[in-house]
Amino acid sequence: MKAGVILAAGDSSRMGFPKQLAEYKGKTILDTVIDTVTNKFEETVVVLGHENDTITEKIDFKNSTILINENWEEGIVSSIRTALFYLGENKEIDSVMIFMGDQPAVNNKIIEKLLKTKYKEDEVVISKYRYKLSYPILIPKFFCTKLELLTHDNLLGEDDSLFKNFDLVDFFESSEYKSKIVNFNFLEPTDYDEQNDFYSGKISLRNFLNYKLFFVQFNNDFNRFHKRYDSHRGY
């Protein structure tokens, strides 16, 4: 069985209210993500934390399982641990796909391409949008136990956690574990904050750098092509 995990435990300091409840095309952004994921997976888990009571009252979770991460302030690492512990204890799974709860633009085509990708049992499958790795991430059973151990409570400091700024994409990109990259020919589906910034004319630094990197890379590729072409023509 394949499981989908939606990480939606963080706070929303920029907005002043739970970002999960912000409107996106007539629904909340979390409703949108849940609708997409529950249509593709036999088992869907949604990890909540900050203001979970408020969110639970207003979201239609479909047939998904709601998990409350009491340690959400530790960062994303604690939500990953919460989900993997539940799935490991209660479900027979062969893979887990991890989604961010604030990326409602992730659609069925992205999920289907990841699910259809052939990979080995010791390979993790990561989405790549042009030149940037991001979510969703498909993790085979081989990695689930390893990640659960990596993020276990006894590895975290009482005050400032070593994993406070842990990011799963960065972890797999910098580790020795094997990964299979699935390329999508468009820029990364932005989270809700970045999308609002874009439409209001305030583009985020991260996306600005992504766009700049894309055009720099495009220019380099274009120049290399012309050099090969000119050489072939005898110029």
Backbone angle region of 201, left / alpha / beta, with phi > 0 → left and psi within -120 to 50 → alpha? left
∠ CA 128-21-101, nearest 5°, is 25
At residue 122, the pLDDT reads 86
Confidence of residue 165 (pLDDT cuts 50, 70, 90): low
Between 215 and 117, the more confident residue is: 117
Q: How many residues does the chain have?
A: 235
Side-chain-side CA neighbours of residue 189 (13 Å):
19
Q: 172 Cβ partners below 8 Å, 6+ apart?
A: 124, 126, 137, 179
At residue 155, the pLDDT reads 46
- So where are the chain's domains? 2-190, 204-235
Between 85 and 231, the more confident residue is: 85
Other beta carbons within 10 Å of 232: 8
At residue 164, the pLDDT reads 60
Q: Per-residue pLDDT tens for 197-234? A: 444 444 444 454 454 444 444 445 445 544 554 555 55
- Provide mean pLDDT across the span 24-48: 95
At residue 114, the pLDDT reads 95
Residue 219 to residue 180: CA distance in whole angstroms: 26
Q: Per-residue pLDDT tens for 182-192? A: 998 766 665 55
* Alpha-carbon distances of 169 from 11, 13, 199, rounded to whole Å: 20, 23, 26
Q: b/e per residue, 162-188, with b = 16+ CB within 10 A?
A: ebeebebbebbeeeeeebeebebeeeb
Asked if the model's pLDDT at residue 73 lies above 90, the reply is no
Out of 70-74, 107-111, 144-148, least confident range: 144-148
Q: Mean pLDDT over all residues of the chain?
A: 78
pTM of the predicted structure, to 2 decimals = 0.76
Give the SS3 label for residue 136: strand
Q: 177 Cβ partners below 8 Å, 6+ apart?
A: 122, 124, 143
Residue 99, phi then psi, degrees to nearest 5:
-120, 155
> Quick one: what percent of the chain has pLDDT higher than 70?
69
Residue 131 to residue 218: CA distance in whole angstroms: 10
- Provide mean pLDDT across the span 174-186: 83
Cβ proximity of 55 and 30 under 8 Å? yes
Which superfamily, per CATH, for 2-190? Spore Coat Polysaccharide Biosynthesis Protein SpsA; Chain A (3.90.550.10)
Cβ proximity of 3 and 35 under 8 Å? no
